[in-house]
């Protein structure tokens, strides 16, 4: 079955540490996205990529970095510059056709130790 896999499901970070969240899709989608969701809040876009080797900042990119070296993979690094990283992180992908929805992975919940 095709889908989006995020790992790990739960992640703990120490102060001053960088961590990388994995996102892999086998849907052959060109576009991939990273969102952050805080309790009681909507989805906020961190970074997105419409094609391999290209990505754009979303609304809250500070303290995060991404790469898109392969179509299937869009890892997100939460750097030590992100002062409030505790959140639920969601990865999504979509085709570039107009009415196609974004499909989401199961998410990674990041907490600070």
Partner 1 sequence: GQNIDQPTEMTATEGAIVQINCTYQTSGFNGLFWYQQHAGEAPTFLSYNVLDGLEEKGRFSSFLSRSKGYSYLLLKELQMKDSASYLCAVKEAGNNRKLIWGLGTSLAVNP
Binding site for partner 1 (CB under 8 A): 31, 40-45, 48, 50, 56, 58, 88, 90, 94, 96, 98-99, 101-107
Q: Does a cis peptide bond (omega within 30 degrees of 0) precede residue 8?
A: yes
What is the length of the chain? 113
Residue nearer to partner 1 on the CB measure, 58 or 75:
58
Dihedrals φ, ψ of 52, to 5°? -55, 140
The least CB distance from residue 33 to partner 1, in Å, is: 8
The least CB distance from residue 104 to partner 1, in Å, is: 4
CA distance 36 to 84: 11
Residue nearer to partner 1 on the CB measure, 43 or 80:
43
CA distance 94 to 25: 10
Tokens coding 22:
């994995």
Residue nearer to partner 1 on the CB measure, 10 or 113:
10
The least CB distance from residue 80 to partner 1, in Å, is: 27
């Amino acid at each position: 079955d095709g889908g989006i896999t995020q790992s790990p499901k739960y992640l703990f970070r120490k102060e001053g540490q960088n961590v990388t969240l994995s996102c892999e899709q086998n849907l052959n989608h060109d576009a991939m996205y990273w969102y952050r969701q805080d309790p009681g809040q909507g989805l906020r876009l961190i970074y997105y990529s419409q094609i391999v080797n290209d990505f754009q900042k979303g609304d809250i990119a500070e303290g995060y970095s991404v790469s898109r070296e392969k179509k299937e993979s869009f890892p997100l690094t939460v750097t030590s510059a992100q002062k409030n990283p505790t959140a639920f992180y969601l990865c999504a992908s979509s085709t570039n056709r107009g009415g196609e929805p974004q499909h989401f992975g199961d998410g990674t919940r990041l907490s600070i130790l």
